[in-house]
Structure 1
Amino acid sequence: MAGHRHEPAVLGREQRHRLDVRSRRGDDPADRARRHRDGRAAGVVAGPPARSDSPAGGYGAGLALRRATRLVVRPAAPAAAGRGRPRGHRRIARAPAVARRSRGHHHGGAVAAVRLRVPAGWGILVCDHAAPLLLPGRGRRCGRSRSRPRHANLSCVNDLGGQVVVITGATGHLGHAVVAAFLEGGAHVAAPHRDGSGVEEIRQAFAGAGERLWLEAADLGDETSMARFAESVVRRFGRIDALAALAGGFAAGPVADTNVEAIRALFEQNVVTAYTTIRAVLPHMRARAYGRIVCVAARPALHGAKNTAGYAIAKAGVVRLMESLADEVKDEGITVNAVLPSTIDHPVNRANMPKADPKKWVSPGELAAVILFLSSPRASGVTGAAIPVFGRV
């Protein structure tokens, strides 16, 4: 285990490491207390080793994850063997310390488990290392690639099998990546479209999804149209579990050259579309006391910059909408969050900014991974959050 600190090892079955710690009778109590504090500072949690934590049921038995290493300190027995030992203390053989190595199954190589025979009067630290993070029911392990992927994939963490997700803006550059992520996670995707542009591309790109992908015409800016769309989704799939409100628009220019009509257009494209869609799906989420809502704002929502006044105003409105709604429904099983990307890496932005370094931008896949998590049942503890996804800008 060279190079590792006291963190759970990724082992196929529970491995136990016994390390000798001198704690003879007569030691200074302050020294023993210091050693105990050092163990806690290393992330070790006091408590007996729990064999039930090991994945006895196999990798398909469900999530097997323990983030803390368990520590057992057995105080040394008195020098007199047999009678007079305190209750609960175990006698330790008076043999010199001898390392015994056994090979355990490890993803990526064998791991040697070390057992030490400890002389009498010494204490024992027992560190139980747990199994890897597993996807429930699939036996698939989350691994870390040697190089950071430009299109992140969290499907092994977020199993959305059977979930019904409404995605607005599905025909855009980000929309393609988000639709792909949800379909790969096992979700059913319902996407409204206004004029049919890009619909055939979506259908062809995800032809293998079959009936799990459903697209229908609707006007995002019209409350009645979006209410009908939400009712159609419920009739088709039975419920609505999550909303990813990706639809929006962008325009840049100095305040002196930007008229009020341009500001209104940005507000309609970003705030109103999110507002009408949320109002359409919210009654169905409340009926089940469950829902996940994710809006897409942008970095200028936090801090305006040159030539972005209109866009910053609109995206700040999205964040304030998210925060207000999150506070309204926080006790109803519904979470509401927003992601705030910087520049997204897609062909249009590359063409408009030829001198920029797109490697520093956030990719659609990376942003989709964050949206996927926030839309999953695992994100129940996150609500009212404006999450920056800035890439390396």
Structure 2
Amino acid sequence: MNSGKTIRIAAIPGDGVGQEVVAAGRMVLDALAEDSNGAFAFEWTEFPWGSDYYAQHGRMMAEGGLEQLRDFDAIYFGAVGWPTIPDHISLWGLRLAICQGFDQWANIRPVKFLPGVTSPMRKADDTELDWVVVRENSEGEYAGMGGRNLGGRPPGGEVAVQSAIFTEVGCERIMRFAFDLARTRTRKHVTSVTKSNAQQYGMVLWDDVFNRVAKDYPDVEVDSCLVDAMAARFILQPESLDVVVASNLHADILSDLGSAMAGSLGLAASANLNPERRTPSMFEPVHGSAPDIAGQGIANPIGAVGSAALMMEHLGFPAAAERLNKAIEGTTAAGVLPRDLGGNATTEEVTSAIIDNLQA
């Protein structure tokens, strides 16, 4: 993007604390734009989709919602889910509808250990830890293939089939994405997460494609690890991790584990990317709608601001992304921590501190 660009962002705060952290992230981004010497500005359009919208209209997003979003430069998403609506309805009706409808097939979830944040991992006290989980975001276990049948049987006789879909195209493109990302990092190492000992079709295809693709990247070290062993490796040998590429389900679980190791799910940022840029990409914190603390002003905005940094990187403003990340680090290093990180700072106080650090 050129200097002076007006960046058109579709904001979808969604449910619960999503509304609070998107508002916080927007404040930080607007402050970033004001201090950019005219390099960029934001034009925001907010969409009221989510569980409240469902209660009024019987659907999570407006009919034709994808077409309304298509011409934006990016989507800034909060969270989805509320106790009054089954999770599979809220998730498939909004977030997954956007991810799959726009073929946002690459999901990036960095695991960052921030200064001033106490990790439950003793190893984090004296070991530099920094890795990123690359998640296949379009198929696998979340492909949505299957159904429920035989509901007319006596109680206990219904059958549900949920099929995991692995395609050679889907596996190859996410693996090449992971290898290309590894080439930009210091260690240049990719670990593939598999379960081919038990899933003899889909994950054997995953392994075959990984071994083939790896030959095109002789400068990148590789290894493969079964998902259960990888869960243990996250805890016992996190220093061995650099770029971790995994299927939709495996990466979803492992990335949450990584964020908990760093201190809280409230830290976790993510990007749902269409790398070819045929459609807008979507950026969101990982933590969910957190109904138990919604409306109390204590939600952690760091994951949302970190997601904004991923958005700026994707939009072609790496220096702005770096400023956002440094402002987050300055805030936590100064001890301005929300409750999920052991502090007592409110959402507003953390947001203000991040803005102050932007301008420092």
TM-score normalised to structure 2 length: 0.31
TM-score normalised to structure 1 length: 0.28
The structure with the largest alpha-carbon Rg is 1
Whose helix proportion is higher, 1 or 2? 2
